[in-house]
Structure 1
Amino acid sequence: MSSPASPAGTRSLILERLLGDSGDAGQVIGAGRSMAERALPFVMKRLAEEIGAPVTVDLQSVEVARVAEARAVSGSCYAMTTVASTISSDAMTMVMDAVAVSVLVCTLFGGDPEQPVATIDRDFSPVEIDVATLVFQELATVLNGTGRRSLELKLPVPRAVTGLEASRRVLRDGPAVRIVFALSTPAERGTVVITIPQRVLLSRNPAEVDAEDNSRWQAHFSEEVKRSTISLEATMPLARLTLGQLAGWRVGDVIELGDMAQTQARLATRDRTLFVCEFGKLGNNYTVRIKRPHDEAQDFMDGLVQE
């Protein structure tokens, strides 16, 4: 990449590298980390069940980067593929280093995961390329997502390349987010670097998607709560009595209700008053008719006046 021709160009490049297209590195990293963390358990499951490779997958880092630097952290020997989407020809660049390829090939073909493996220091063989492509496919499928969160990748992924062909692959530069997954066994640890341009990552509007998901879950939860059952209790107030009068009560005594008791029934659940009601009778059934919602503030004021 050529250097900027002016101080203004240099400043623009520095700001772009620090902040990215969004102008907010935190937003970019947050969106990338959220996507990676959601995908991680599914990646582990697919590698174990679909491929049969007994490797551990960890999220190593998420950071702001450049698309042109997609190969920078993988050494001189790596496998690479670039996946297109509906809005970009380079929506996802995936690079697997030699250690990760060695680990996968070894474990996939029955090697002992407890033992160190010989790291490949040459161009990969067709079989090794096929294994790398298979893992790229699983990662891209999981990271792609579904619905409004989807990156809309064009799958299956292109077959991986290595050696001179990979190094000659031109990457259109621009701000990106770099997601690094570690593939490891007890003896070895390799990496898969996934670089997504910010224009692709932020086109999903993750804040809007997450807000929509939250609203949908809140609505679902509210409906479930509405279906739950509770016990209601209707009570009527007695006249105000002294403790001496209360102490004088005996079994069989009849207690007179106050003049307003029938119109001041309280409907409550779990010790919380909901409505003020009127007690009555309809046919053979006793009833309470709701008069108004219970006002705690007014009830408190009425209590002070009575005292």
Structure 2
Amino acid sequence: MGNATMGEGRACSPILERLVGDSGEASQVIGAGRSMAERALPLLQKSLVETGAAVTLELRAVEVGRVPEARARAGDCFAMAVVASAFSSDAMTMVLDAPAIAIMVSALFGGDADMAIVPIERELSHVEVDVAALVFQQAAEVFNGSGRRSLELKLPIAPALSGPEARRRVLRDGAAVRIVIGLSTPTETGTLTILIPQRVLLTRRNGADAADDGEAPGHWRARLSEEVMRSSVRLDATMPLGRLTLGQIAGLQKGQVLELDKGAPVQARLWARSKALFACEFGKLGENYTVRISGTQDEGQDFIDSLARQAGI
């Protein structure tokens, strides 16, 4: 009798999920996940190429699954990110396996794509975790979408997890859509796995479909855009000087001249509300100091430069 009761409890779990709207028909879920993946994949490919990673992406599978299965096929060495949204603490779970991380590190640091890549069979280094975090951030941005169908992910995402921390992280069980993306070079291949709970995926799609039935507030959107374009923000131009200890900073005095490090960037950055917009050069016009815009800010190159400084290259 006791065994029968336990069996019934397990069988009721999917039924309860259906009753509370946490899962849907498999065909509907897979269709929604595939549409999202097919829209996002070209954008992710472009984003990685602009960052400097010439890797090939392919959509390998879209299937129903459970959130805790995110780590099931990643092996012992992987990186993971759990992304929160405005209405869920775990709206997206992403896992990058060791071959994919090795491919990305090699691509970002100029490795020969036609040569075999040494596999990672140890705990990830800080640089490798940072590279995985870059992939997770770009994937979250393109999968997030916009408008009424947006997942409303909280960006930028939280730091990536690896090692014991990633293996011990408790993942809330629930029905999900599992999107498997292959990252490859001519000699190597790895996997990025993305799981989105069905309660998140179906809620956003159903909400968007319901909103589509109403009148689109195009005139309000146009007015809002016009007002936004007229708003003013403060611009700040900064130039990194290098690294100083707290003791050195405490000893700075008026009139002291600070020497730039040999490898310090020579260009200034033009910022608005903590967002770097342009690369600039300092100058002088008559009695006024000036900043001349030399180009748009290359976030990908800045990321690679920061990794190179961390690695001592």
Q: Could you say if the C-alpha distance between residues 27 and 187 of structure 1 is closer, same or farther in structure 2, counting changes exceeding 3 Å?
A: same
Residue 151 of structure 1 deviates from its aligned partner by 0.1
The residue aligned with 1:118 is 118
Secondary structure class of the residue paired with 1:158: coil
Residue 12 of structure 1 deviates from its aligned partner by 2.4
Secondary structure class of the residue paired with 1:159: coil
Unaligned stretches of 5+ residues in structure 1: 217-307
Tell me the TM-score normalised to structure 1 length: 0.64
The residue aligned with 2:55 is 55
Q: Could you say if the C-alpha distance between residues 43 and 124 of structure 1 is closer, same or farther in structure 2, counting changes exceeding 3 Å?
A: same
Residue 126 of structure 1 deviates from its aligned partner by 0.3
Q: Could you say if the C-alpha distance between residues 16 and 163 of structure 1 is closer, same or farther in structure 2, counting changes exceeding 3 Å?
A: farther
Residue 36 of structure 1 deviates from its aligned partner by 0.4
Deviation by residue 1:31-80 (Cα, 9 ceiling, x = unmatched): 1110000011111100001x110000111101101011111111111000
Q: Considering only aligned residues, what root-mean-square deviation do their CA atoms show, in Å?
A: 2.6
The residue aligned with 2:294 is none
% identity of equivalent residues:
58
Residue 33 of structure 1 pairs with residue 34 of structure 2:
yes
Residue 201 of structure 1 pairs with residue 228 of structure 2:
no
Q: Could you say if the C-alpha distance between residues 152 and 190 of structure 1 is closer, same or farther in structure 2, counting changes exceeding 3 Å?
A: same
The residue aligned with 1:241 is none
The residue aligned with 1:160 is 160
- The structure whose Rg is larger is 1
Q: Could you say if the C-alpha distance between residues 85 and 107 of structure 1 is closer, same or farther in structure 2, counting changes exceeding 3 Å?
A: same
Unaligned stretches of 5+ residues in structure 2: 217-313
Residue 86 of structure 1 pairs with residue 123 of structure 2:
no
Secondary structure class of the residue paired with 2:71: coil
Counterpart CA distance in 2 for 1:33 and 1:206 is: 16
Q: Could you say if the C-alpha distance between residues 5 and 126 of structure 1 is closer, same or farther in structure 2, counting changes exceeding 3 Å?
A: farther
Counterpart CA distance in 2 for 1:128 and 1:154 is: 23
The residue aligned with 1:255 is none
The residue aligned with 2:99 is 99
Residue 73 of structure 1 pairs with residue 73 of structure 2:
yes
Residue 4 of structure 1 deviates from its aligned partner by 10
The residue aligned with 2:24 is 23
Within a 5 Å distance, the mapping from 1:224-263 to structure 2 comes to: none
Q: Could you say if the C-alpha distance between residues 114 and 210 of structure 1 is closer, same or farther in structure 2, counting changes exceeding 3 Å?
A: farther
The residue aligned with 1:172 is 172
Secondary structure class of the residue paired with 1:112: coil
Counterpart of 1:22, as a letter, is S
Q: Could you say if the C-alpha distance between residues 36 and 202 of structure 1 is closer, same or farther in structure 2, counting changes exceeding 3 Å?
A: same
Counterpart of 1:162, as a letter, is S
Tell me the TM-score normalised to structure 2 length: 0.63
